[in-house]
């Protein structure tokens, strides 16, 4: 449920206009919380966005108010991809503004709004990754404290885990395991992979960061995984420690299970040391291609 302020930011309709549209035309009827404050659900937000677009195209709000959601969609004939490209960065900016002001709930709300309005892949590409990268930059530059970094990362982790839960309930076929190996604590890259995996309808077993290779291998074997996705973000140890960990992992993992690796660290690995078994992915699109191949082969 969203506040009037969040809805105003997400729809581009001012708070005064939202109140006026409701009072005069009952375009949406938000619930009220115990303090009498309006509380909108995702369907309200989607409808209000469409109403704004339609009024911008010259349709009077007095007429639009009586139009059903389907008729409104037809009127706009805008496909189902949500806000046009270029509008989504607004959500990342809202998350960052909320973290700057130490407002974790608003950060959460901006992200859950993005998830309500956009396809998952666009949330990853246009909201989560840009927000996380910008947080990283600010943290490095000393402009963001660790607590502010946590406001954003925790919002991402919370929302991703809610999405994984929902998608896993309807996912089919053998699962894909996602993790990072010992001492790789950068978690957010692999978390995005988990979201993209779930979005493809593949069952997603997210183990998280910093696991001994033997544990991941045993887990993948026992859960009947089709593939394991590993992220390597750090580069400085890539030529030595990281690649040795991967080699140990490969020795312990049954050969029938696929191994997909990615991240800046993985890109620096010696190709010769990887062998034929490992698929190195350049980016998230590469991951999606592998997932599509997997689903085509197992369904």
Residue 172's CB: how many other CB atoms inside 10 A? Answer: 10
Could you say whether residue 120 binds ligand B12 (CB under 6 A)? no
Instruction: Select 7 or 191, whichever has its Cβ closest to ligand B12.
Output: 191
Q: Which residues contact 46 (CB under 8 A, 6 or more apart)?
A: 69, 116, 117
Instruction: Select 87 or 210, whichever has its Cβ closest to ligand B12.
Output: 210
DSSP 107-151: HHHHHHHHHHHS-HHHIIIIIIHHHHHHHHHHHHTTSS-HHHHHH
**Pair of tokens at residue 101:** 């002001």
Give 281's DSSP letter: P
Q: CB of 89: closest distance to ligand B12 in angstroms? A: 16
Interface stretch with ligand B12, choices 19-27, 37-45, 75-83, 282-290 (CB under 6 A): 282-290
Q: By rule CB under 6 A, what count of residues binds ligand B12?
A: 33
Encode 183-220 in three state secondary structure.
CCCCCHHHHHHHHHHHHCCEEEEEEEEEECHHHHHHHH
Q: CB of 111: closest distance to ligand B12 in angstroms? A: 14
Could you say whether residue 129 binds ligand B12 (CB under 6 A)? yes
Interface stretch with ligand B12, choices 12-20, 80-88, 112-120, 262-270 (CB under 6 A): 262-270
The answer to whether 167 and 201 are in contact (CB under 8 A) is yes
Could you say whether residue 292 binds ligand B12 (CB under 6 A)? no
Q: Which of residues 201-240 bind ligand B12 (CB under 6 A)?
A: 229, 231, 233-236
Given 12, 42, 136, 241, the residue binding ligand B12 (CB under 6 A)? 136
Interface stretch with ligand B12, choices 9-17, 27-35, 72-80, 277-285 (CB under 6 A): 277-285
Q: One symbol per residue from 157 to 196: x for binding ligand B12 (CB under 6 A), - otherwise; what is it?
A: --------------------------xxxxxxxx-xx---
Q: CB of 183: closest distance to ligand B12 in angstroms? A: 5
Instruction: Select 13 or 228, whichever has its Cβ closest to ligand B12.
Output: 228
The DSSP element (H or E) to which 23 belongs, if any, is helix 15-25
The DSSP element (H or E) to which 22 belongs, if any, is helix 15-25
Given 278, 281, 291, 294, the residue binding ligand B12 (CB under 6 A)? 281
DSSP β-ladder status, 258-262 and 278-280: parallel
The DSSP element (H or E) to which 181 belongs, if any, is strand 172-181
Instruction: Select 139 or 219, whichever has its Cβ closest to ligand B12.
Output: 139
DSSP 55-91: HHTT--HHHHTTS-HHHHHHHHT--SS-SPTTTTHHH
The answer to whether 107 and 152 are in contact (CB under 8 A) is yes
User: Which residue ranges make up the site for ligand B12 (CB under 6 A)?
Assistant: 129, 132-133, 136-137, 139-140, 153, 183-190, 192-193, 229, 231, 233-236, 260, 262-264, 281, 283-284, 286-287
């Amino acid at each position: 449920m969203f506040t009037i302020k969040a809805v105003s930011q997400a729809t581009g309709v001012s708070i005064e206009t939202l109140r006026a549209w409701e009072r005069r035309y009952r375009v949406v009827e938000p619930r009220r919380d115990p303090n009498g404050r309006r509380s909108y659900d995702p369907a309200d937000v989607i409808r209000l966005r469409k109403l704004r677009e339609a009024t911008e195209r010259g349709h009077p709000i007095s007429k639009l108010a009586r139009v059903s959601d389907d008729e409104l969609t037809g009127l706009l004939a805008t496909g189902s991809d949500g806000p046009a490209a270029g509008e989504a960065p607004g959500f990342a900016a809202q998350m960052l503004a909320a973290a700057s002001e130490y407002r974790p709930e608003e950060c959460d709300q901006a992200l859950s709004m993005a998830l309500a309005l956009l396809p998952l892949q666009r949330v990853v590409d246009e909201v989560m990754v840009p927000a996380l990268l910008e947080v990283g930059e600010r943290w490095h530059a000393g402009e963001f404290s660790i607590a502010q970094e946590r406001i954003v990362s925790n919002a991402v982790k919370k929302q991703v885990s809610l999405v994984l839960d929902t998608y896993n309930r309807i996912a089919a076929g053998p699962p894909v395991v996602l993790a990072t190996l010992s001492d790789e604590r950068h978690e957010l890259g692999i978390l995005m992979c988990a979201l993209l995996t779930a979005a493809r309808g593949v069952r997603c077993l997210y183990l998280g960061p910093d696991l001994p290779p033997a544990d991941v291998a045993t887990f993948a074997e026992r859960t009947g995984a089709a593939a394991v996705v590993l992220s390597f973000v750090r580069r400085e140890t890539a030529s030595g420690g990281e690649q040795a960990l991967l080699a140990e992992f490969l020795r312990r993992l049954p050969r029938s299970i696929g191994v997909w690796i990615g991240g800046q660290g993985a890109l620096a690995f010696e190709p010769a040391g990887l062998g034929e078994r490992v698929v190195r992915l350049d980016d998230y699109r590469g991951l999606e291609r592998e997932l599509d191949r997997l689903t085509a082969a197992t369904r």
